[in-house]
């Protein structure tokens, strides 16, 4: 217990105390190579005595790995991301990895800084939900320098990285089909859609050319729009552009306002593009004094906890947050383990699908003869 005033005991101290060489001490402590059991025992007890803690920095200097991942999200405190982080952190922990966290508030500048810091820390990989689909030079540089990235939620096309995303098109289509099957013909969609110019929106809808125009490389809200349009096309139901609410930026206030505008055009159902949009849309519906599902049906993309607490509870397409985090960590661990090989040529692109939880916020409209 004789701590040298806060200075940590080193492997040399332990070796001396156990009357062995540093190499032997290293073998005993590191659990590798040949060490006589008794010797090992002596070393370990000396280590305990001195309160010895391995210095990861020194190890990292040699091995090049500090057994650490970096994780970058745009909003750490959102229910969606915090759940993903939780599972990624836990999975990593169980496999001996720590996680450094960064919150960018959707700022590319901070994201760039995060990547730079992580490079200095020589992280074994980065899990990131890119803030922008276009401004990704720092990410390209990172992978060019040998860094490993797993993208989550969003996927930048052409970026040499693995990814774990949702089948946005398919899940949104399933949501839309559910509403269509319930007899709805005027389904509103509220999303950020900042990549779709308002001027183009009408044309895209009119042509039902979603598949051609909204390709990979768009943010989730756009891909989900595509699912919405695809479902309409497949069902032979025309889409009214006025029912598509575009916030342009990411805030619930904007979603509320967009919804308010869309409600003027008498939709019978509302589909949101994610949790924040749900919050805004729900407020707008409430403010308008409309009742769910009698006056309007509601289907939320993202299953937030409070959806079960309002009256009536709201139906939702739930994303498998825990799996997203786990898969991302799993991929990174796999790559870190097999880092000796020159890096496999291909990348994993895992697409999970959302599951619709029906809580009764969707009204079935009787078919008019």
Partner DNA sequence: CTGTTAGCGCGTTCAT
Partner DNA sequence: ATGAACGCGCTAACAG
* Residues contributing to the site for DNA (CB under 7 A): 7-8, 10-12, 19-24, 26-27, 29-30, 32-36, 38-40, 52-55, 58-59, 61-63
Whether the CB-CB separation of 187 and 167 falls below 8 Å is answered with no
Q: Counting contacts by CB under 8 A, is residue 51 touching a second copy?
A: yes
Cβ proximity to DNA, 9 vs 270, nearer residue: 9
Residue 65 burial (10 A CB sphere; 0-12, 13-18, 19+): middle
83 binds, among DNA, a second copy, none (CB under 5 to 8 A by kind): a second copy
Q: Counting contacts by CB under 8 A, is residue 342 touching a second copy?
A: yes
Residues 264-283: x/- map of binding to a second copy (CB under 8 A)? ---------------x--xx
20 binds, among a second copy, DNA, none (CB under 5 to 8 A by kind): DNA
Q: Which stretch binds a second copy (CB under 8 A): 20-28, 49-57, 128-136, 263-271?
A: 49-57
End-to-end CA distance of the chain: 87
Q: Please give the Cα distance from 30 to 25 (Å, whole number).
A: 8
- Closest CA relative to residue 249, chosen from 229, 227, 219: 219
Whether the CB-CB separation of 83 and 325 falls below 8 Å is answered with yes
Which stretch of DSSP H or E encloses residue 199?
helix 198-207
Whether the CB-CB separation of 271 and 179 falls below 8 Å is answered with yes
Q: Counting contacts by CB under 8 A, is residue 46 touching a second copy?
A: no
Q: Counting contacts by CB under 8 A, is residue 318 touching a second copy?
A: no
Where on the phi/psi map is residue 9: left (φ > 0), alpha (ψ -120 to 50), or beta? beta
Mapping DSSP to helix (H, G, I), strand (E, B) and coil, where does residue 32 land?
A: coil
Q: Which of 2, 37, 38, 145 binds a second copy (CB under 8 A)?
A: 145
Q: Please give the Cα distance from 342 to 126 (Å, whole number).
A: 18
32 binds, among a second copy, DNA, none (CB under 5 to 8 A by kind): DNA
Give the residues lining the site for a second copy (CB under 8 A).
Answer: 1, 3, 5-8, 51, 53-58, 60-61, 66, 68, 75-77, 79, 82-83, 85-86, 89-90, 93, 98-103, 110, 113, 116-117, 119-122, 141, 144-146, 279, 282-283, 286, 304-306, 309-311, 342-343
């Amino acid at each position: 217990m004789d701590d040298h005033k806060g200075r940590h005991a080193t492997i040399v101290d332990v070796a001396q105390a156990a009357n062995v060489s540093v190499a032997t001490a290293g073998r005993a402590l590191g659990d590798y190579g040949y060490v006589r059991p008794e010797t090992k025992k002596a070393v370990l007890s000396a280590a305990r005595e001195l309160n010895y803690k391995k210095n990861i920095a020194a190890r990292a200097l040699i091995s090049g790995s500090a057994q650490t991942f970096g994780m970058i999200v745009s909003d750490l405190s959102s229910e969606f991301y915090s759940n993903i982080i939780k599972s990624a952190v836990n999975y990593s922990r169980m496999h001996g990895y720590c996680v450094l966290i960064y919150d960018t508030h959707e700022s590319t500048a901070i994201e760039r800084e995060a990547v730079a810091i992580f490079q200095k820390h020589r992280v074994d990989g980065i899990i990131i939900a890119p803030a922008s689909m276009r401004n990704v030079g720092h990410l390209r540089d990172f992978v060019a320098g040998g860094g490993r990235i797993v993208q989550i939620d969003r996927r930048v096309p052409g970026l040499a990285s693995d990814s774990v995303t949702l089948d946005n098109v398919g899940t949104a289509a399933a949501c839309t089909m559910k509403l269509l099957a319930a007899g709805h013909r005027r389904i509103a969609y509220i999303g950020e859609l900042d990549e779709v110019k308002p001027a183009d929106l009408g044309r895209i809808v009119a042509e039902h050319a979603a598949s051609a125009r909204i390709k990979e490389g768009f943010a989730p809200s756009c891909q989900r729009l595509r699912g919405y349009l695809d479902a309409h096309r497949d069902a032979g139901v025309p889409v009214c552009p006025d029912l598509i609410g575009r916030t342009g930026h990411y805030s619930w206030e904007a979603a509320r306002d967009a919804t308010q505008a869309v409600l003027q055009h008498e939709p019978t159902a509302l589909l949101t593009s994610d949790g924040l949009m749900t919050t805004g849309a729900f407020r707008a519906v409430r403010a308008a004094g409309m009742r769910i599902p009698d006056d309007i049906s509601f289907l939320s993309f993202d299953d937030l906890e409070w959806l079960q607490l309002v009256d009536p509870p709201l139906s939702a397409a739930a994303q498998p947050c825990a799996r997203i985090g786990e898969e991302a960590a799993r991929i990174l661990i796999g790559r870190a383990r097999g880092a000796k090989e020159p890096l496999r040529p291909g990348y994993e692109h895992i697409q999970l699908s959302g599951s619709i939880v029906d809580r009764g916020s969707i009204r079935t409209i009787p078919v008019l003869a």
